[in-house]
Amino acid sequence: MDGLDAVALRYREHLDDRDLLALTGGRADQVPALRRQPTLLLDLLDRRAVTDPILDDRHADAERFRYVSPFLVFAAAVHSVTGALVGTAYVADRTGPRSRVPVFDGPALAAFATDPRHRLFLIELLTSYSRVASGVAYRQTGRGVRRHRWDELDLPRLAGVLEALPAQQRAAVWRRLGDGALFLAGVFPEHAERALGLVQVARLQRATGLRLRGWDGPVTPLLEELASRAYEHDGVSVPRGVLEAPAAARRVLTLVADRHLFPTAPGWAGAASG
């Protein structure tokens, strides 16, 4: 099985019959073929005629997404945005809440964004935050059992769970720290700016043992560095391209957020230009 087949099988695992019906435009007779040949799913998602109706914003949100899974919605958004990058000379990138500047690396970003493994990674990451998890971890100390409440989008608190786990069980937390860093930087950067002040970053560094180079600077490069270093830990599995270029992954998430999650005014908010 080659890499494309493996990726296509993952898509098939995520999509239910209602999703497949949406992809075929309501033609139930075509659904079995998509089950038998999952690579057809990738071909369909690369077609704007297929993804545009899924992402159509002319209907109330409750009706718009009522009959499809979060995975299909994010797959349509990621494929739509990354497909639009092909052939572009420059791509808008965020410099502030309503500020975008052109970055002249369209071909390089398109090569990253259209890699099937990178697309799957970004879709699964977005889908995983359609419901945010939280809980309580317990650790035995010299003074008894210590209770630690965590939320997976509160990165310092999530990092605090590492101390409560044996080394062989920490990979899942490291992976979630990396995912959360990219998600916040790409989708909710304003929230991250407010939530990660110097005190919170100090707590994050103390809990992870990491010394982040940009600890006193803008939050976006700080989170990109955190993602890369969290993904480097043993047992964490992410595509090599994401590990080596977290900024590219973050930029695609920013484009998806600007285009489909929180649409802004036309212009630099567009996915790409060329």
- Is residue 268, in this structure, part of any structural domain at all? no
Give the model's pLDDT for residue 140.
67
User: What is the residue-averaged pLDDT of the chain?
Assistant: 90
- Is residue 114, in this structure, part of any structural domain at all? yes
Residue 138 banded pLDDT, cuts 50, 70, 90: confident
198 and 241 share one domain: yes
Domain residues for 143? 136-253
- Is residue 270, in this structure, part of any structural domain at all? no
Cβ pair 155, 184 in contact under 8 A: yes
CA separation (Å) from 111 to 16, 130, 150, 239?
29, 27, 37, 14
Length of the chain: 274
106 and 156 share one domain: no
Residue 212 banded pLDDT, cuts 50, 70, 90: very high
Q: How far is the C-alpha of 266 from the C-alpha of 243, rounded, in Å?
A: 32
Question: Coil, strand or helix: which one is 173?
Answer: helix
How many domains are contained in the chain?
A: 2
170-194: buried (b, 16+ CB within 10 Å) or exposed (e) per residue?
beebbbbbbbbbbbbbbbbbeebee
- Is residue 264, in this structure, part of any structural domain at all? no
- Is residue 38, in this structure, part of any structural domain at all? yes
- Is residue 179, in this structure, part of any structural domain at all? yes
103 and 52 share one domain: yes
236 and 193 share one domain: yes
- Is residue 7, in this structure, part of any structural domain at all? yes
Q: What is the pLDDT of residues 147-160, one digit of tens each?
A: 778 899 999 999 99
- Is residue 212, in this structure, part of any structural domain at all? yes
Quick check: 274 pLDDT over 80? Answer: no
DSSP for 91-148 reads EEEEEETTEEEEES-HHHHHHHHT-HHHHHHHHHHHHHTSS--EEEEEEEETTEEEEE
Quick check: 15 pLDDT over 60? Answer: yes
| End-of-domain residue from the set 129, 157, 186 | 129
159 and 113 share one domain: no
Give the model's pLDDT for residue 160.
93
98 and 165 share one domain: no
Q: What is the pLDDT of residues 37-87, one digit of tens each?
A: 999 999 999 999 999 999 986 655 545 456 799 999 999 999 999 999 999
| End-of-domain residue from the set 111, 129, 147 | 129
Q: What is the pLDDT of residues 229-269, one digit of tens each?
A: 999 999 999 999 999 999 999 999 999 999 999 886 444 44
155 and 205 share one domain: yes
Residue 270 banded pLDDT, cuts 50, 70, 90: very low
193 and 216 share one domain: yes
